[in-house]
Structure 1
Amino acid sequence: MREYMWRGRGALAVTAAGALVAASACSPGSTEPGGAGDLAGVELLVAAKWTGVEQENFTEVLAGFEEETGATVTYESTGEDTGAYLGPKIEADEPPDVAVLPQPGLVREYAAQDALVPLSGDAASALENNYTGYWRDLGSVDGDAYGVLLKAAHKSIIWYRPDAFDQAGVSPPETWDALTGTTAGTLSDAGITPFAMCGASGWTLTDWFENVYLSQAGPEKYDQLVAHEIPWTDDSVVQTLETLADVWGKKDWMAGGTEGAVQTDFPTCVSQVYGQEQAAMVYEADFVAASAQEAGATVGETAQAFPFPAVGDDAPVVVGGDIAVAMSEAEGVQQLMAYLASPDAQTTWAGLGGYLSANSKVEADAYPDEFTQTLAQTILEAGDDVRYDLSDQVPSQFGATEGKGMWAVLQDYLRDPADPEAAAEKLEQAASKAE
């Protein structure tokens, strides 16, 4: 079993999210974007979904490219629906020079439309030198490399209140059996509701499924399911649904019972743990930290986290993220892609906080706190066993649409997990329809 020993009674100790460290100006193995001033007068447009602090930090990263090359880079937000932003621009032959896509499925979709430009020169070399095979393949289509995973999110974390665990006399579990057989049961016996569920946000339920499936069925099966090389009626899917029922089938274990679980969205579920203290745990990614702080918790003290427990031999490591792609052949585009794939650029962003990298050359001490350092290390140490969010790799009508596909089927299953075979059949029907 792969084990991640996170400090603090087996849990992840987290320091304040606002802490900063200086990022090194030049990291080992960096790819230089070009000589100073060699792109003077060149203007480039980059589009991504980020706003607020994320946008500010990314534009600071872009400023490093401008300073190095003399180019001018303008940032434009796509809004939450990247496809709705890019579709008309592609049709009008006016795409941004570089776009950041929130789903690998969009890389394949736009490559099929000849809307992407393959990486070449220093950009292709930077991808090859700084990323392992799985991450390179994620942004590739039919052997051609198009994308660079620029920003990652760690989706294999369960957050908890240490005071609730102390009151019940339990510790963070390392296995699913310990979570469901000891931790949650003991909390419930002590009068503490174990889980807040975010069921109204269907994507959180797909994340539950993906973690259990990856750990229980293994990476090879996971890839086969992504590609629909096996049906969703496969025994491995049914077994995962049965495993989820260990939690989803116990209404007393969820804040508000079954109806509360289905009706509570993200991030309201986080406030049920931190602030309202209606539950002891909530499952979701590293970005829970921000919502926990907004609810009044101190991350690392009153809000802590532990790795999603192992269901099979290994604990799962599931990530989401954003992939940068070139959409024009303008001067400077490949140099910008090389820069974005470099440890220099990503070390800068790591030092600003709220960021994870899958770049093997970004050092752990580039991150501002122990929390992020540990998450980054688990992503890299998982090697070829780490997997990208399944629902973001399948057609969006199946994996990422409200009221349809995986979201709808899993919400129904959360309401009544009595028939996993029927739920698997509905997943297969929805997957086939989306294709």
Structure 2
Amino acid sequence: MRTTLHTRRAVAALAAVGALALAGCGGNGDGKGGPAGSTGSAETVSLPRLDGQELQVVAVWTGPEQEGFTKVLKEFERRTGAKVGYVPTQDAMLNYIGTKIAGGAPPDVAMLQQVGALREAVERGWAKPAGREAREQVEANYSRGWQQLGTVDSKLYGVYFKAANKSLVWYNAAVFDNAGVSEPKTWKEFLSTAETISASGVAPVSVGGADGWTLTDWFENVYLSQAGPEKYDRLARHEIPWTDPSVARALTTLGELFGRPDLIAGGPDGALQTEFPASVTQTFTGGDRPKAAMVFEGDFVSVNIAQTDAEIGTDAKVFPFPAVDGDPPVVTGGDVAVALTDKPATQALMTFLASPDAAALWAAEGGFLSPNKALDTAAYPNDVQRGIAEALIASGDSFRFDMSDQMPQSFGGTPGKGEWKALQDFLKNPRDVAGTQRRLEADAAAAYRDGS
């Protein structure tokens, strides 16, 4: 998948996010309710009556994310009369779908997390092209880059409903104040800031290494900033091997953090036992002596912060991922809706998910970012989340999609295998750059050869 060139306009938009956080921010800082004037369930798209029809939707969302998505599905039920069942699955979505299809009971709509998984679903004959109404919504409401991400062989199959800005670092404001540090703008400043925080008595960085996808995000941000967008695209398509010197350079840079146990909460062993949600909550609990001062991940971190007493914009602030020998990176991710059956209700749900109506419902709940440019950003519950959303839309096509999500699922999206496992091993032994490269290349070559 090719996106347009990385530009300084996107960098400037992301930098504004940090300024919003420093300003203290209005709105509901807990991310649990929409502001006055929220678009709510205003109707801008026409849907048919579908009384008596039933749908099943599968996604990986649980907890607060499942609650947010359920509000969207309930509104679809109210407006159409259809009944929608939701089934949360594990990360390896294609395995689940394949089993259901083999049993003659495919889900109607799947929310896939990888561009590679979308391509595989099309190649296996599982995915159905988006209908006319859904295509019209996508063409009207999405930039060309997001349209291309949902397109395979010149046909639109996917609707990107939920996006992610994966180039953010969230931090505990009290710890920064006590240590006398400010938001770093470069990788060198980031490491220096971490050292100062460590000297103040708090572990600087929380890493959710038990979930391998967080480590792929670390690598991708470093690699994009350091190697540049052209190399990033070529590595994503496996046009250059993982044994390339650019990969060695990025791993060596990442090792400057991973190789410093004093800079990581719990050290490497502790990080490998820390799941993503805990990596966030331990950063924002414990007053001015939490287990960590910073946690890197996307806008969806706000969902986990909302489970603590920290207030976004006051206690919890955010800055763009620091520049590494180049521009600050702009890495995105997203969940794409794909039709797996030909039911009229299936296509109606695809149309609804492509509309600003559906996006506004979850946006008001917090912990959600939409690539839908027709969504009124007043729907977001606070200025921090609103600023992140506006930065994403302002970047237009000037972003790079999560690299691991563009690759075959067996390499870039399966727990305990491929890139996830290789980077978990690297976290434990960051001096083994060459060995990590060889393992990554062997696993990638096998995955691309098998196409699975």
Same fold (TM over 0.5): yes
Equivalent residue, structure 2, for 1:17: 31
- Of residues 283, 297, 311, the one that matches 1:273 is 283
Matched, 1:203 2:213: yes
In structure 1, list runs of 5 or more residues that go unmatched. Answer: none
Equivalent residue, structure 2, for 1:118: 129
- Of residues 228, 232, 257, the one that matches 1:222 is 232
Q: 8 Å contact 2:166–2:297 — kept in the other structure? A: yes
User: Could you report, residue by residue, the CA deviation over 1:269-325 in whole angstroms, capped at 9, with x for unpaired residues?
Assistant: 334422241322121223333333434433332222212112244322222221111
Equivalent residue, structure 2, for 1:80: 90
Equivalent residue, structure 1, for 2:167: 156
CA distance in 2, matches of 1:191, 1:71: 57
CA distance in 2, matches of 1:207, 1:234: 19
Equivalent residue, structure 1, for 2:200: 190
SS in 1 for 2:84: strand
Q: State the 1:434 CA deviation.
A: 2.2
- Of residues 60, 64, 80, the one that matches 2:75 is 64
Given the superposition, is the C-alpha separation of residues 156 and 13 from structure 1 closer, same or farther in structure 2, using an over 3 Å criterion? farther
Identity in percent: 45
Equivalent residue, structure 1, for 2:47: 33
| Worse overlay, 314-323 or 257-266 | 257-266
Given the superposition, is the C-alpha separation of residues 274 and 45 from structure 1 closer, same or farther in structure 2, using an over 3 Å criterion? closer
Equivalent residue, structure 1, for 2:397: 384
SS in 1 for 2:33: coil
Give the letter for the 1:338 counterpart. Answer: T
Q: How does 1:314-333 map to 2 (within 5 A)?
A: 314-333=327-346
CA distance in 2, matches of 1:242, 1:305: 26
Q: 8 Å contact 2:303–2:367 — kept in the other structure? A: no
Q: How does 1:135-146 map to 2 (within 5 A)?
A: 135-146=146-157
SS in 1 for 2:257: helix
Equivalent residue, structure 2, for 1:249: 259
Q: 8 Å contact 2:31–2:365 — kept in the other structure? A: no
Q: State the 1:25 CA deviation.
A: 4.8
Equivalent residue, structure 2, for 1:103: 114
SS in 2 for 1:273: coil
Q: How does 1:50-61 map to 2 (within 5 A)?
A: 50-61=61-72
Q: State the 1:195 CA deviation.
A: 1.4
Give the RMSD, CA atoms, in angstroms: 2.4
Give the letter for the 2:237 counterpart. Answer: A
Q: 8 Å contact 2:41–2:75 — kept in the other structure? A: no
Q: State the 1:31 CA deviation.
A: 4.2
Q: State the 1:150 CA deviation.
A: 0.9
CA distance in 2, matches of 1:298, 1:9: 11
| Worse overlay, 299-308 or 365-374 | 299-308
Given the superposition, is the C-alpha separation of residues 85 and 361 from structure 1 closer, same or farther in structure 2, using an over 3 Å criterion? same
CA distance in 1, matches of 2:63, 2:195: 41
CA distance in 1, matches of 2:205, 2:396: 30
CA distance in 2, matches of 1:24, 1:379: 21
Aligned length: 428
Q: State the 1:40 CA deviation.
A: 4.1
Q: State the 1:417 CA deviation.
A: 2.1
Q: 8 Å contact 1:198–1:204 — kept in the other structure? A: yes
Q: State the 1:118 CA deviation.
A: 0.6
CA distance in 2, matches of 1:199, 1:51: 20
Equivalent residue, structure 2, for 1:291: 304
Q: State the 1:162 CA deviation.
A: 1.3
CA distance in 2, matches of 1:204, 1:99: 23
Q: State the 1:16 CA deviation.
A: 2.0
Q: 8 Å contact 1:254–1:261 — kept in the other structure? A: yes
Give the letter for the 2:239 counterpart. Answer: E
Q: 8 Å contact 2:62–2:88 — kept in the other structure? A: no
Q: State the 1:399 CA deviation.
A: 1.6
Given the superposition, is the C-alpha separation of residues 45 and 281 from structure 1 closer, same or farther in structure 2, using an over 3 Å criterion? closer
Given the superposition, is the C-alpha separation of residues 45 and 163 from structure 1 closer, same or farther in structure 2, using an over 3 Å criterion? closer
CA distance in 1, matches of 2:272, 2:61: 28
SS in 1 for 2:162: strand
Given the superposition, is the C-alpha separation of residues 124 and 108 from structure 1 closer, same or farther in structure 2, using an over 3 Å criterion? same
Q: 8 Å contact 1:131–1:358 — kept in the other structure? A: yes
Give the letter for the 1:116 counterpart. Answer: A
SS in 1 for 2:364: helix
Given the superposition, is the C-alpha separation of residues 174 and 387 from structure 1 closer, same or farther in structure 2, using an over 3 Å criterion? same
Give the letter for the 2:440 counterpart. Answer: L
User: Could you report, residue by residue, the CA deviation over 1:70-104 in whole angstroms, capped at 9, with x for unpaired residues?
Assistant: 34131221422533432222123432222222222
TM-score, normalization by structure 2: 0.87
SS in 1 for 2:397: helix
SS in 1 for 2:19: coil
SS in 2 for 1:261: helix
Q: 8 Å contact 1:364–1:376 — kept in the other structure? A: yes
SS in 2 for 1:171: coil
SS in 2 for 1:322: strand
Matched, 1:367 2:376: no
TM-score, normalization by structure 1: 0.90
Q: State the 1:380 CA deviation.
A: 1.6
Equivalent residue, structure 1, for 2:19: 7
CA distance in 1, matches of 2:63, 2:428: 36
Equivalent residue, structure 2, for 1:400: 413
SS in 1 for 2:344: coil
Matched, 1:176 2:187: yes
Give the letter for the 1:32 counterpart. Answer: S
- Of residues 252, 257, 264, the one that matches 2:274 is 264
CA distance in 2, matches of 1:407, 1:328: 31
Equivalent residue, structure 2, for 1:89: 100
CA distance in 1, matches of 2:60, 2:263: 36
| Worse overlay, 48-57 or 170-179 | 48-57
